[in-house]
Structure 1
Amino acid sequence: MMGLLLLLVAAVFWMALLSSNADAQGALGILTDLSSDKTEASAPAEPAQPAAENAAAGAEEQSRTMEFYVARALKARDVVLQILKSAPDLHETIGATLRSKGGHGDMGWLWATLPGVVVAIGLGLLGYRLVLMWGRRHFAHRYSEGVQPRADKLSYLFLRGLLMLAGLVVFVAIAGLILLFLNRGPVSAHQTAIVILSVTTLFMGLRIVFLNLLVPNVPSHRVFALSDKDALGLYRSLIVGTAVSALALALCNWMDKLGLPKDAHKLALIASALLSCLILTGIAVAYRYAIGALIRGEAGEQAPLWRRVLSRSWHLVAAVYFLAAWAVSSIRILLDLPDATGLVVAPLQALLMAIIAYGLLVLLIDRVLLPRLDTPKVQASLAADIERAEATEGEDDLDPQVTQAQAQAEAADMEAHRSPFRHLLDHGASILACFGGLVILARLWGVSITDGSTYVGGMIEILLIIFLGYMAYKAVEVAIDGRIAKEGPGEEKDEEAEVGGVGESRIATLLPIFRNFLLITIVAIAAMVVLSEMGVNIAPLFAGAGVVGLAIGFGAQTLIRDIFSGAFYLLDDAFRRGEYIDIGSAKGVVEKISIRSMQLRHHRGALTTIPFGEIQHVENFSRDWAMMKLAFRVTYDTDVEKMRKIIKKFGQELLDDEYYGPMFLQPLKSQGILAMEDSAMIARVKFMTKPGKQFELRKVVYAGLQDLFEKNGIKFAHKQVTVRVATGDEEEGPQPGDAAARAAAAGAAAAGALEEAVQDGDDPADQL
């Protein structure tokens, strides 16, 4: 909230310029009147002037505006010289005016009024204290030491503030009634008493605000991250500065009520504004580090750049503003212009109102919209529910510590789901509070920024539309991203796993597409409304969009086919993100799904993008279960029954294993001898697993069977190729070149056997 100061100060000079331009138009009549422009707008349009004439008119208008400012400055100088010329006689004029207010021509009426005012204020303060004592007795149960949630802190501070305001009302009622009955002097005496009572009430009201804002006496309920020393010092400085400024304001108001000389009143107002300027500048410089830490926030030196720059230079910006505001106030006072007073303290008033508004919005969020669930009260309720549930199930020996820990875990989990939405609402509340502070500051400067008929008012309406669109955009994003995270895979990706693991849920696959559709819709609607507010006729845009859509429908039939095919594939739940699929032309893990295509990540790393319209069939390896069948070769002297028993026992051992057992859906089984070749018997085993676990278990099964077969004398058979080569006449013995012929024949036979094995599907590269 302290960052609001930069926004308020930056907008002040622009609003002051607008206000000065408005004064210039009304005072000199040089600039064109807006109302006459609207009247003349209905007349037939005249031909456009050449660019040179427009430039000359703009230069002439700027020249006249500059002349107006020079004339205003000269007039202010003349008023100052006139006041200084009459300054030596001001004290005599003031004294004569005060003496003329009494019936005996002296100032006895003033000294007779003060005792009654003191008695009335004293009794009023007594009533104020009694109200506070009554409130402490009846509301002390709401106060507790220790760390409190922000909702409890704000509730306590607002309740204390309302109680103190009730006491202030009692103070005004008692003091006012006593003054009404005790004060029997002239009219000037009544006016003096009213001024003193009004200023005292103003001081007490500001004290209530500062006390509940800085909370120097109750550190556990302090909202701002200030140390006790800084909070107490800043509170005292503001109280002293308020008291001095209130006295100066009382003097000015008193002089105005009594009809003292106008020149004296102007000098008093200028001096009062200068005094407030110096006091606020001194406080800003003295506590620049403490408030700078508030601007940086919890991030500290890791805060964004603009916050760090503002935290180091905010007091310089404030000092420049106070000085400029005092100069503008002085000129307006001298020239009797409206909105002349209060410009120096205007940012402080706007900032206080913005902070109070933000506190109320936060209280509304935490108490009504999204109540916190990690509070002791909610945890106690959850613990009671857990105890009742366990008692119903017959659990008699309940451990209170375990129950409390379970309740805290459940409350923290529920609060974690609400936290993103609360942060979003807090951000929106801060934006609304900043906007409210800007409106208040503009009002204090005499500029209306909420009037929709003006350019500034139109910009404000556009900003409000953008704000609503932004909040809707972030709300959809937070809600759907949270659901996607909740619907993601329940188990983490195993580094040992290869392919075919469990993918995301169906809703987690569809939600990103739905989210993108909603976000695009929100942005499009907000853009259309903004264009409409800017005066753009959006009807042709809708008509053009219809024509473009029709053209796309005729000219991009492939695109339409891809979109509709993808929609039906997703509705049929043919695949989900994270699943391993084979579509014939490509296979891999579904990594990304868009509106017209999807991307498959092959297990060797390649990424393939496939339009939905080109998919003819989908083979999904990640649904429900996976069956793995493993073949191996054994020699002809193998005892098949013994091998079956070994495999069965090994399968039971795998089921009993803590790590591998949960992966099986059906145990490892022997399928006997499937085929008999020239040099070996082909045996096969099978097992059913969860999707994606079959490849990890395949390694374990192969390694285990190798060890068990070796221990039990079962041998694996190796492929052999027998080649018979004719050598001609055996009686003649071997001829030259026979060895090369035999080698070539053996190689050809081996290549043919290998090619046959590949065609039969024995290539190890095809195992995935």
Structure 2
Amino acid sequence: MFRLFSSVTLIGFLLLVGPLHAQVAATSSSEAPATVTIPEGLTPEQVDGLVARMSDDQVRSILLERLDAVAEKNAAEAEEREDPITEINEIWAEMVASWTHVVVTIPNIFSAQAHAVDNFIGKFGGNGALVLIGLIISVLVVGFIAEKLFGLLTRKWHAKPDTADENDLRGAARYLFIRFCHEIAGLVVFYVVIRAIGRGLLTPEQVTYAAPFVFYLIWIPRLGAAASRFILAPNKPEYRLVNTDDRWAKYLHRNLIGLLILIGFTLFLLHFNRLNGITGGETRIGFWLNAAIHIYIGVIAWTAREGLSQMMLGTDPDHTKFDEEVAHYYPYFAIGVSAVIWLLVEFLAAQRDPAIRAILLQGAHFTTMFWLLIAPALDTLIRGLVRHLQPPMLGEGPVAEQAYKSTKRSYIRIGRVLAGILVILMIAKAWNLDLQEIAGGGEEDGSRVIQFFIIIAIGYILNELVSLWINRRLAKEMTADQSPDEEAGEGGGAGGSRLATVLPLLRVTAQVAISVIFVLLALGALGLDITPLLAGAGILGLAIGFGAQKLVSDIVGGIFFLIDDAFRVGEYVDVGGTTGTVEKISIRSMQLRHHRGPVHTIPYGEIQKLTNYSRDWVIMKLKFTVPFDTDPNKVKKIFKKIGAEMMEDETHKDGFLQPFKSQGVFDFDDVGMIIRGKFMAKPGKQFTLRKEIFNRVKAAFKENGIDFARREVRVAIPGLDEAEQLTGERKAAVRATQQA
């Protein structure tokens, strides 16, 4: 069995490495293997007989020797192939050779083009070529007439909106979209007419020349012009969807059409030359036309950099610093993309690969450049759509406002990921790359990279969806701003809702969990062993469990405080003698802002008792001291009247839960009677109401002749009752005594 396996293996091996000269010395199976060589030109039957006469050790020796030689050869080739310096030198040499060939073939450009024209005329004859050109022009004229007639018959489809709607985004977008659809419908009519007439008048050979001309020089520029009019609206600034002035809108519109004409002319000329027997290597005219296209793009981006920056920034007042940087550097990004694509095309052209040349002739590099340049514009479009389509904020206050802005940013980030996926798919399609096949394992390295980015994208979108859900809930919260009394340091303001306290903490926890899980999955997709990371995380958790008992106590205590709803962000609390407003909570501690400014950080594990001054309602009891001879019933009526008036006051009625009223005489002291009043208010409103009640009570007492009791010192003089009976001399003596 082993001999049969050895013979089959050796036959396959010999067929791979080639025949050898051989001499065979017969030996017994117990002798040491002799040197064996194989003669050339052996048939499989001869090889089988030769192997049958060999010992097992000889067969094994030959196999090991040849396998070692092949392994050494493959290792040497791999080392040479993986040397980056060698690869860079080879690439540079190919590029230099290609550019040298471009310079050498300059004299051939005009002669080769003349030869292509001669070949074209030779195929159809002089009269036949003129007839073909005349037929193409006639068909195009008929197509244009049909398009204009269609436009006249359907003018009412794109009527202008009412004047009241001109400044409305929905009305402007509706008008531009209907106009765009009308233009596309006209182009479809144009195409159908020229196709029908062209197929009837032209032969199949004539169609091979006419179709590329119409497609590259008529259809593509006109389609691009329709899209440009939809976005830039060069002659209708009141309907313009992008943020740029008339000057730059018209400039960009004109030059975009010119750029599309230049691209179409390039593709048509290369196609025309190929049909007439002129290859790209003879003239390298494609190099000069491609260079002209990229130079044109650079000139447009540099000249209109102000308008492009305006357009990229948009009109959203909530733009970020990142949006400003993208808008500022977009023109330079466009120039850089144009330069990089040009270098890529020159590198691929230098490879002289027919498959790559075919892809370039299809305009894959132009498609790539288009999607890369339009990517920032898609971002601007996403931000504009989110701004206008996002529902209005339902809540009030800083928490709701911040959550509303965060919701908008989440929509924008999700849109950016989807736009990035669209750009990648369109570029891959242009280069005939099947990403699904690659991700499925068609190419091991490419599969891992694609799976890595897919996992990262899914994790990012999931993270944004969690943030979006939480921020949408927070955007409905009703959290009022601080009242003037709270800002002055009174404390005891109203806090946020329970969701406004718990959801931010839940968001951070969910984001950390999602980040850790998907980063580990992405690293695993790259082929990295994540087992040590998981083991390290387990050891770290065990160390925390044994060595950080205080941390665990703080975390567990915080969880139960939140479950009990003991405090919320914005509430005024007392924790063991430390008072302040709950400003921030984390998984381990809470921060209290004292009304004089200091911030106290208190771990949950150290909280033994917590007093909340801002939960649900507050009762304020006010004391007023009046003279003993004041009528309490009169004061009671005054308090009741003040309470009724304030309950009807638009400024103060929303702060009351129960009106201000008298509680009668509370106490007596050595000055007068103490009369007390009380009211129930919403947390945070009590100090403003108290100040207003004090002002109104003072005014009402003055109006009714009631004075506030004052501290007085009374001096009793013996015999003062007989003062009226004193003589004038006696009174003068008393005055003199007082003055002394």
Does TM, normalized by the shorter one, top 0.5?
yes
Equivalent residue, structure 1, for 2:139 = 120
Between the aligned partners of 1:296 and 1:175, the Cα distance in structure 2 is 42
C-alpha change, 1:265 and 1:340, in structure 2 (3 Å) is farther
Equivalent residue, structure 1, for 2:246 = 228
Equivalent residue, structure 1, for 2:370 = 349
Partner of residue 195 from structure 1, selected from 194, 207, 212:
212
Between the aligned partners of 1:206 and 1:432, the Cα distance in structure 2 is 24
Partner of residue 483 from structure 2, selected from 489, 493, 499:
493
Which residue identity lines up with residue 414 of structure 2 in the other structure? G
Which residue identity lines up with residue 257 of structure 1 in the other structure? L
Q: Is residue 2:688 matched to residue 1:667?
A: no
Equivalent residue, structure 2, for 1:652 = 640
Partner of 2:584: helix, strand, or coil?
A: strand
Which residue identity lines up with residue 611 of structure 1 in the other structure? P
Q: Is residue 2:222 matched to residue 1:169?
A: no
Shift of 1:110: 0.8
Partner of 1:566: helix, strand, or coil?
A: helix
Query: C-alpha root-mean-square deviation of aligned residues, in Å?
Result: 5.2
Equivalent residue, structure 1, for 2:501 = 509
Query: TM-score, structure 2 length as denominator?
Result: 0.67
Tell whether the 8 Å contact from 2:121 to 2:129 is kept in structure 1 after alignment: no
Tell whether the 8 Å contact from 2:312 to 2:377 is kept in structure 1 after alignment: no
Tell whether the 8 Å contact from 1:668 to 1:687 is kept in structure 2 after alignment: yes
Tell whether the 8 Å contact from 1:513 to 1:594 is kept in structure 2 after alignment: yes
Q: Is residue 2:222 matched to residue 1:204?
A: yes
Shift of 1:498: 2.0
Between the aligned partners of 2:100 and 2:115, the Cα distance in structure 1 is 21
Indicate the percent of aligned positions where both proteins have the same amino acid.
Answer: 25
Partner of 1:578: helix, strand, or coil?
A: coil
With 612-621 and 109-118 compared, the bigger mean Cα shift is at: 612-621
Partner of 1:294: helix, strand, or coil?
A: helix
C-alpha change, 1:211 and 1:455, in structure 2 (3 Å) is farther
Q: Is residue 2:62 matched to residue 1:72?
A: no
Partner of residue 422 from structure 2, selected from 421, 436, 443:
436
Tell whether the 8 Å contact from 1:579 to 1:589 is kept in structure 2 after alignment: yes
Partner of residue 256 from structure 1, selected from 258, 266, 274:
274
C-alpha change, 1:165 and 1:66, in structure 2 (3 Å) is same
Measured against aligned partners, the alpha-carbon deviations of 1:676-704 in whole angstroms (never above 9, x if no partner) come to: 8xx78995635344356667777876995
Equivalent residue, structure 2, for 1:725 = none
C-alpha change, 1:465 and 1:584, in structure 2 (3 Å) is same
Between the aligned partners of 1:616 and 1:148, the Cα distance in structure 2 is 61
Shift of 1:488: 4.6
C-alpha change, 1:598 and 1:682, in structure 2 (3 Å) is farther
With 212-221 and 309-318 compared, the bigger mean Cα shift is at: 309-318
Between the aligned partners of 1:520 and 1:704, the Cα distance in structure 2 is 58
Q: How does 1:185-584 map to 2 (within 5 A)?
A: 188-199=205-216, 200-258=218-276, 260-262=277-279, 266-298=283-315, 306-307=325-326, 310=329, 313=332, 317=336, 320-321=339-340, 324=343, 327-328=346-347, 331=350, 338=357, 339-341=359-361, 342=363, 345-346=366-367, 348-351=369-372, 354=375, 421-437=407-423, 440-441=426-427, 451-452=438-439, 453=443, 455=445, 458-459=448-449, 461-477=451-467, 479-481=469-471, 483-484=473-474, 486-490=476-480, 492-495=482-485, 498-538=490-530, 541-542=533-534, 545-546=537-538, 548-549=540-541, 551-584=543-576
Gap regions ≥5 residues in structure 1: 1-43, 375-407, 721-768
Measured against aligned partners, the alpha-carbon deviations of 1:74-93 in whole angstroms (never above 9, x if no partner) come to: 65367558746867964775
Measured against aligned partners, the alpha-carbon deviations of 1:576-595 in whole angstroms (never above 9, x if no partner) come to: 33333344444444333333
Equivalent residue, structure 2, for 1:19 = none
Between the aligned partners of 2:501 and 2:209, the Cα distance in structure 1 is 76
Between the aligned partners of 1:234 and 1:93, the Cα distance in structure 2 is 37
Between the aligned partners of 2:196 and 2:621, the Cα distance in structure 1 is 100
C-alpha change, 1:245 and 1:579, in structure 2 (3 Å) is closer
Between the aligned partners of 2:405 and 2:593, the Cα distance in structure 1 is 35
C-alpha change, 1:208 and 1:564, in structure 2 (3 Å) is same
Which residue identity lines up with residue 651 of structure 1 in the other structure? F
Between the aligned partners of 1:270 and 1:322, the Cα distance in structure 2 is 13
Measured against aligned partners, the alpha-carbon deviations of 1:16-59 in whole angstroms (never above 9, x if no partner) come to: xxxxxxxxxxxxxxxxxxxxxxxxxxxx99xxx9xxx99x9589
Equivalent residue, structure 2, for 1:392 = none
With 56-65 and 486-495 compared, the bigger mean Cα shift is at: 56-65
Measured against aligned partners, the alpha-carbon deviations of 1:182-215 in whole angstroms (never above 9, x if no partner) come to: 235xx65343333333333333333333333332
Shift of 1:134: 4.0
Equivalent residue, structure 2, for 1:750 = none
Measured against aligned partners, the alpha-carbon deviations of 1:283-318 in whole angstroms (never above 9, x if no partner) come to: 444434432433454599996674465257457546
Tell whether the 8 Å contact from 1:281 to 1:318 is kept in structure 2 after alignment: no
Between the aligned partners of 2:93 and 2:433, the Cα distance in structure 1 is 23
Shift of 1:123: 1.6
Between the aligned partners of 1:718 and 1:530, the Cα distance in structure 2 is 87
Equivalent residue, structure 2, for 1:753 = none
Q: Is residue 2:47 matched to residue 1:61?
A: no
Equivalent residue, structure 2, for 1:728 = none
Measured against aligned partners, the alpha-carbon deviations of 1:475-525 in whole angstroms (never above 9, x if no partner) come to: 544554564464354463232672334333333333333333333333333
Tell whether the 8 Å contact from 1:295 to 1:310 is kept in structure 2 after alignment: no
Between the aligned partners of 2:652 and 2:162, the Cα distance in structure 1 is 57
Between the aligned partners of 1:624 and 1:277, the Cα distance in structure 2 is 68
Tell whether the 8 Å contact from 1:332 to 1:340 is kept in structure 2 after alignment: no
Tell whether the 8 Å contact from 2:493 to 2:571 is kept in structure 1 after alignment: yes
Q: When the two structures are aligned, how many residues end up with a matched partner?
A: 619
Shift of 1:143: 8.2
C-alpha change, 1:67 and 1:229, in structure 2 (3 Å) is closer
Tell whether the 8 Å contact from 1:565 to 1:612 is kept in structure 2 after alignment: yes
Q: How does 1:685-764 map to 2 (within 5 A)?
A: 685=676, 687-690=678-681, 691=683, 716=711
Between the aligned partners of 2:391 and 2:491, the Cα distance in structure 1 is 43
Tell whether the 8 Å contact from 1:191 to 1:254 is kept in structure 2 after alignment: no
Between the aligned partners of 1:525 and 1:302, the Cα distance in structure 2 is 29
Partner of 1:101: helix, strand, or coil?
A: helix
Partner of residue 179 from structure 1, selected from 191, 194, 198:
198
Between the aligned partners of 2:580 and 2:187, the Cα distance in structure 1 is 75
Shift of 1:463: 4.3
Between the aligned partners of 1:424 and 1:712, the Cα distance in structure 2 is 63
Partner of residue 119 from structure 2, selected from 77, 80, 97:
97
Shift of 1:116: 1.9
Measured against aligned partners, the alpha-carbon deviations of 1:119-170 in whole angstroms (never above 9, x if no partner) come to: 2222222222333334433453778785355455445444444443333333
Between the aligned partners of 1:421 and 1:670, the Cα distance in structure 2 is 54
Shift of 1:667: 1.7
Which structure's relative contact order is higher, taking Cα pairs within 8 Å and 6+ residues apart?
A: 1
C-alpha change, 1:366 and 1:515, in structure 2 (3 Å) is closer
Gap regions ≥5 residues in structure 2: 1-66, 716-740
With 453-462 and 202-211 compared, the bigger mean Cα shift is at: 453-462
C-alpha change, 1:117 and 1:464, in structure 2 (3 Å) is same
Between the aligned partners of 1:497 and 1:81, the Cα distance in structure 2 is 81
Tell whether the 8 Å contact from 2:573 to 2:613 is kept in structure 1 after alignment: yes
Which residue identity lines up with residue 251 of structure 2 in the other structure? G
Equivalent residue, structure 2, for 1:132 = 151
